[in-house]
């Protein structure tokens, strides 16, 4: 029992010496070639000032407008959503579905589309939606009667 500790320390010291000598003998990793600077390609513009050109390399030019995509994405309106369920637990949550079939789980204070959920009742939820002139409208969504 008394010899275990010194033998373990001796083994550890031996391993460190062998590891250190292996590191000293290993060849140095090859150095990376220095990055070469490529002068920017310029194209003359209508004003006579040279503008830098973008090298595509198979990518889309980020300085050109994207074709076929709407410039302004419209979020679904709160009024077009359907209340599918209310989950009661530690924190009450509302289950909403958009017209395109996407589902959302919301709690009081969450924002959805153009409104904010302010109340979850027994069978309905209430959203506030900003209206013109700084006022707000209230939209109530109810569970479907089965």
Buried b (16+ CB within 10 A) or exposed e, 79-98: eebebeebeeeeeebbbbeb
pLDDT digits over 58-92, tens only?
Answer: 777 777 777 654 444 445 588 899 999 999 999 99
Mean of per-residue pLDDT scores for the chain: 77
The rounded distance, in Å, linking the Cα atoms of 118 and 130 is: 13
| pLDDT digits 0-9 by tens, 118-144 | 999 999 999 998 887 777 889 999 998
């Amino acid at each position: 029992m008394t010899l275990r500790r010194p033998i373990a320390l001796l083994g550890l010291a031996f391993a460190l010496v062998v590891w250190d000598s292996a590191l000293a003998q290993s060849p140095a990793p090859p150095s990376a070639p220095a990055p070469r600077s490529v002068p920017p390609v310029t194209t003359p513009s209508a004003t006579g000032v040279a503008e830098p050109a973008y090298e595509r390399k198979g990518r889309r030019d980020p300085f050109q407008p994207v074709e076929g995509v709407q410039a302004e994405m419209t979020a679904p309106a709160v009024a077009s959503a359907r209340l599918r369920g209310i989950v009661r637990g530690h924190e009450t949550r509302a289950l909403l579905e958009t017209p395109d079939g996407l589902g959302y789980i919301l709690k009081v204070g969450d924002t959805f589309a153009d409104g904010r959920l302010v109340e979850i009742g027994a069978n309905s939820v209430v959203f506030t939606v900003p209206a013109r002139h700084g006022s707000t409208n209230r939209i109530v969504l109810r569970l479907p009667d089965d």
